[in-house]
Amino acid sequence: MPLTPNQRHKLLMADRTHDAGWIAAVIEDLLEANPTVTLLEIEQELRDAGAQTYLIAGSGKFQVVTGGRLAMLWAVAAAGMTVEQNRAALAGQ
């Protein structure tokens, strides 16, 4: 099930803080409240809103990267993945 309007609002307000720890906490809360939502769906909500936050898949955990697309590309490369592999991993978590 997609995010509710209130959940989407909470996510986008967290993005405005540019605080990776706070954003991660909000995302974890959203995942707990809505277990059918995937990290890829949350990432897509961020992209649709033009947010500066990106999610990077990790082993058992995700990483929040703020600072825009270039920062995301560096983080994905540092994780040893391509953008496509990251998206696939986000969909599977």
At 30-89, the pLDDT tens digits run 999 999 999 999 999 999 999 999 999 988 799 999 999 999 999 999 999 999 999 999
Q: What is the pLDDT of residue 60?
A: 78
Instruction: Please give the pLDDT value at position 21.
Output: 97
pLDDT of residue 59: 81
**CB burial of residue 11 (10 Å; 0-12, 13-18, 19+):** buried
pLDDT reading at 1 higher than 70: no
Checking if the pLDDT of 93 tops 80, the result is no
Q: In terms of C-beta density within 10 A (0-12 exposed, 13-18 middle, 19 or more buried), how is residue 60 classed?
A: exposed
